[in-house]
Structure 1
Amino acid sequence: MSYRSCIRALALAGVILTPTLAAAQTAGKAPPPPAPQKVDDATLDSRVEARLKADAALKKDTIDVAVNDGVVTLTGTVHSRGLRTRAERLAKIAGVSRVDNKLEVETAATAGVGEKTGKAVDKAAAKTEKTMEKAGEKSEKVLDKAADKTKSGASAVGEAVTDAWITTALHTKFVDEDTLKGSDINVDTNNHVVTLKGTVTSAAGRARAVAIAKTTKGVSRVVDELTISPKK
């Protein structure tokens, strides 16, 4: 075989073997792993809460879970630092990108202070409510008393400006007056103007009747039509 024939044969063999070797190499490689599917926040929230509630060590602790774009936030209180770390570890499940641990460790001392403070607040609130209740009762009594007084005053004022009240008041005063004994006086009141008619036994009695009428509350003017008629 000539030199050129050998070169040609080797080149042909290389062309034939190259695809075969490439195929063999490709067949020997493992397929790439599938891309992980993203888990929605609601599902992550449910799964993390379920893990925390199922853990016996965390049953007495108060832990709230919130998930936003794969980031889990833990809030609430636990009874030790170890439980705080444990809760964070349980929250790191598939699909969670990060855990923001904001849990607070509640000690016996802080729990006692919180309880004591709560009782103090309740006691203060009860005392304030009782004080306000007493103040309300006192104010109500004062208002009722003022209302009664106002009503009484209004009634008196109303009577003072009533013609009928003036007429009745004058008749009462005339009966008790000694200088008017034996007199027959008729009182007519119209719009606070008093007209005296009838008879009196003397000039002094007439003057006294007019004076009483003029000084009676609510009287604006007195018309004297009395006549003197001595006793028979």
Structure 2
Amino acid sequence: MARRLQNFKFGLGGNTMQKQSICFIVVTAAVAMVGCVKAVRTSERPAFERQELDGCMAILIDMSGSFADAWEERAYELFIELSESYFTEAMGTNNRLVISQLSGNDRVVVFEGAPVDLTRQFRSPEELNQFLKKKSDPSRSRVYASVSETLDYLSSMDGVTERTRLMTVVMSDLRDSESDQEKRNRIGQEMVESMNDYRNRGGALALYFVASDEVPRWKDILDRAGFLESQYVIQNELTRRPQLPRFD
């Protein structure tokens, strides 16, 4: 290619046939040069389009032995009421529902889907109740770890952005059963860090059926995590009609 360009540069004084040959050489060289240039794509179409979520609600249910009676007698009815309210207000928007369980079972999150997916998977409240019991281990109350894992899961969900409305409902007496004080303190600090990150994303908390003697402790925990009073509600086991969150 270098030799042809040199011929073109010094051979302009030849006859017509020579000029035609030179022109052919130039065109050939130009085409060759164009062929050496890598095509550049002006736009890259993603294989998967991320869909932003309008809202996401997590319901953490205490299935441990210490909360068994409260779940059967009162908390289960509140769970159904919350779910139905969320279904109604979430219609026509892109929302997710997360259900997690608090017990001795290390697997905390047991369901994630659109609100309508819950009714498709569980055809009756009783069927859902049985499912939750099968996923739990009533021997322990992993309160701090379960709260932390639920909030971390919610914050890292695909489609959650700074505009996504986040609400986490916890139905528990909030008595952690960890007897090792050093381990309890470490897990508790990890939970506070998760709560702080969740709050920074605009998340709100609703704590229901909290044991009366645990309320001061949890108010202090919420304060350490940076929550304002307008960002949470905490109600003890004596509250007959809990204040429900709004999803609009």
Q: Same fold (TM over 0.5)?
A: no
Structure with the bigger percentage of helix: 1
**TM class by smaller structure:** under 0.3
Higher Cα Rg: structure 1 or 2? 1
Higher RCO, 1 or 2 (CA under 8 Å, sep at least 6)? 2
TM-score (normalised: structure 1):
0.27
TM-score (normalised: structure 2):
0.26
